[in-house]
């Protein structure tokens, strides 16, 4: 059974810092990995989707990398802003039906 | 509509009451998933549909939980005889085809069982 772990569980940083959020998974036979953002009381918003054949994806200040062999992905946030404050979740699609398995998320606070 | 919608957004139920949660997918999205998210946790898989076929229901926590998607579009998650441990946010997500495609989430239904 796929297990997904996210470290750290919580992070509080001053505005302007560059951040790295980590996601690890136990079964490297994945189809893809997706990073989401969740604001309090809201659903999940997709940030980046990395297919298993890819090593990274970029969108604006966000960059996600994937290392299947070591079972890891990182989400890099450049020049963090207070508006980046949210919970960040990663989900790994694997198994016969490619059902996404989620980590517990990293709760990020960026203070001015 | 432009995105996945869920209703109601909030539901308060007395213990023992039956509830029905609705998910309207993005038009044309074949795959539909239900997840349960407890406070401070990541979403936990409940069940998966491809069109009207329920391909996986291994995540449903008990036989009080039942999901259907009779015409391959709108889906309903029903919980019978609700218990306090059912309190959570229930999330619906859809994709073009299969879990291997980008997932689009609805806003969720927050269920509180008193």
> Per the CB < 8 Å rule, is B42 touching A104?
yes
pLDDT (mean) for A4-29:
95
pLDDT (mean) for B22-49:
94
- pLDDT greater than 90 at residue A43: no
- Find the CB nearest A46 among B102, B106, B108: B102
Within 13 Å of residue A48, how many CA atoms lie on the same side as its CB?
22
- Tell me which of A94-98, B43-47, B67-71 is least confident: A94-98
Compute the C-alpha angle A50/A26/A66, nearest 5°.
25
> Per the CB < 8 Å rule, is A43 touching B106?
yes
Cα dihedral across residues A59, A54, A28, B99: positive or negative = positive
What number of other Cβ atoms are within 10 A of residue A79's Cβ?
A: 11
Per the model's pLDDT, the better-predicted residue between B109 and B99 turns out to be: B109
Gap between the Cα atoms of B44 and B74, Å rounded: 21
- pLDDT greater than 70 at residue B100: no
Per the model's pLDDT, the better-predicted residue between B101 and A33 turns out to be: A33
Report the run of H or E that residue B105 belongs to, with start and end.
strand B104-105
Question: Which of the four pLDDT bands, split at 50, 70 and 90, describes residue A62?
Answer: very high
Contacts of B97 (CB under 8 A, 6+ apart): B30, B31, B50
pLDDT of residue A86: 97
- pLDDT greater than 80 at residue A58: yes
Q: Give how far Cα B70 sits from Cα of A32, A102, B29, B36, B51, Å.
A: 29, 27, 15, 21, 9
* B26, B30, B42, B106, best to mutate vs chain A, most A CBs in 10 Å: B42
Residue B112 · residue B85 · CB < 8 Å? no
- pLDDT greater than 90 at residue A8: yes
Per the model's pLDDT, the better-predicted residue between B96 and A71 turns out to be: A71
The alpha carbon of A11 is separated from its chain's Cα centroid by a whole number of angstroms, namely 14
Mean pLDDT of chain B: 93
Proportion of chain B above pLDDT 70, given as a percent: 96
Within 13 Å of residue A87, how many CA atoms lie on the same side as its CB?
19
Chain A residues with CB inside 8 Å of B108's CB? 42-43
Per the model's pLDDT, the better-predicted residue between A95 and B16 turns out to be: B16
Residue B74 · residue B96 · CB < 8 Å? no
Question: Which of the four pLDDT bands, split at 50, 70 and 90, describes residue B1?
Answer: low
pLDDT of residue A97: 77
Contacts of B71 (CB under 8 A, 6+ apart): B52
Question: Which of the four pLDDT bands, split at 50, 70 and 90, describes residue B98?
Answer: low
């Amino acid at each position: 059974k796929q297990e997904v772990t996210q470290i750290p569980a919580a992070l509080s940083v001053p505005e302007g810092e560059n951040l790295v959020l980590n996601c690890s998974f136990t079964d490297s036979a994945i189809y893809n990995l997706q990073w989401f953002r969740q604001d309090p009381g809201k659903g999940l918003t997709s940030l980046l989707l990395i297919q298993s054949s890819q090593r990274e994806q970029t969108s604006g200040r966000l960059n996600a990398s994937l290392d299947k062999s070591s079972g890891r992905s990182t989400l890099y946030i450049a020049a963090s802003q207070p508006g980046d404050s949210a919970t960040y979740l990663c989900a790994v699609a694997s198994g016969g039906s490619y059902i996404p398995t989620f980590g517990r998320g990293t709760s990020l606070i960026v203070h001015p | 509509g432009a995105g996945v919608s869920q209703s109601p957004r909030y539901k308060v139920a007395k213990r023992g009451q039956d509830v029905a949660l609705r998910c309207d997918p993005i038009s044309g999205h074949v795959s539909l998933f239900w997840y349960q998210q407890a406070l401070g946790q990541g979403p936990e898989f409940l069940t998966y549909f491809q069109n009207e076929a329920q391909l996986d229901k291994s995540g449903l926590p008990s036989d009080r939980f039942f999901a259907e998607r009779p015409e391959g579009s709108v889906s309903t998650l029903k919980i019978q005889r609700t218990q306090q441990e059912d309190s959570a946010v229930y999330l619906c997500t859809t994709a073009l085809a299969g879990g291997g495609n980008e997932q689009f989430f609805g806003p969720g239904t927050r269920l509180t069982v008193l």
